[in-house]
Amino acid sequence: MRISVRCNYRSKMADLLGSILNSMEKPPTVGDQESRRKAREQAARLKKMEEMEKRKKAEFRKKMEKEVSDFIQDSSQQKRKYNPMGKIERSILHDVAEVAGLTSFSFGEDEESRYVMLFKKEFAPSDEELEAYRKGEKWDPKVAEQRRRLKEQAALEEAASAEAEEAQACPNSNYRDKYSHLIGTSAAKDAAHTLEANRTYGCVPVANKRDTRSIEEAMNAIRAKKRQKREDDSGPQSSGGGSS
């Protein structure tokens, strides 16, 4: 009887121990240990790179602050051009310049050739100067002034040429004054009807003129009218004299 009880007790203890062992976490395999080790190493490298990048940015900013300060104190410099640099470095330089009260611009077509220029506030660049830098040209104030004067001269010449063409297309001649010594003021007024310009629409076409005769024909007609008038006036006088 005692032997049977002991066997049952041992069997129960073995089952309890087995259940405990089964509930415990299994030890990691060799593959899991390697993966965890690589993950820890990668995280450590990433953290080290971030700290290094942060340290480089701080060093670069400190260097730019020193150069910008020297540039402000140098009264002989109005602007300063930097060598091409990366986007992060340009951003830091722009921020330093803004804090220092300077004007800054980036120029260059592609990312590899982009560079920064600093300008003191009292020597801020004009639109023409900025356009030259954007085109990759060298800015020369003397050359720019010559170009400006040439443009102004060309504009004046173009305006004068337009006025001359307009005056030639519609002459402003006063034929009444021109021929008044030949045919009188009133006769010249009648003759000038054929040549008077319409001020609203410019020169009147030949088809719209009141009289298409030439000046000579008009003058001859006026002289004939004068002679006829003199003859009419002298007719009654001569007839009256004969009766007396």
Same domain, 132 and 151: no
In terms of residue numbers, what domain contains 156? 137-167
**35 located within any domain:** no
**244 located within any domain:** no
- Burial (CB < 10 A; 0-12, 13-18, 19+), residue 42, is exposed
Rounded to whole angstroms, how far apart are CA atoms 66 and 162?
A: 59
* More confident site: 18 or 204: 18
Rounded to whole angstroms, how far apart are CA atoms 26 and 8?
A: 29
Same domain, 127 and 146: no
Same domain, 130 and 155: no
**30 located within any domain:** no
Same domain, 130 and 98: yes
Average pLDDT over residues 210-226: 75
**229 located within any domain:** no
Q: How would residue 4 be classed by pLDDT, with cut points 50, 70 and 90?
A: low
Tokens for 53, please give them: 């990048």
Same domain, 83 and 105: yes
Average pLDDT over residues 135-150: 80
Other CB atoms within a 10 A radius of the CB of residue 36 amount to: 11
pLDDT of residue 201: 46
Counting the structural domains of the chain, the total is 2
3-state secondary structure of 119: strand
pLDDT of residue 100: 94
- Checking if the pLDDT of 203 tops 60, the result is no
Other CB atoms within a 10 A radius of the CB of residue 1 amount to: 5
Q: How would residue 149 be classed by pLDDT, with cut points 50, 70 and 90?
A: confident
Average pLDDT over residues 184-194: 54
Instruction: State the pairing for strand pair 79-81/115-119.
Output: antiparallel
* More confident site: 24 or 232: 232
**182 located within any domain:** no
Average pLDDT over residues 89-115: 93
Residue at which a domain ends, from 110, 145, 167: 167
Same domain, 147 and 90: no
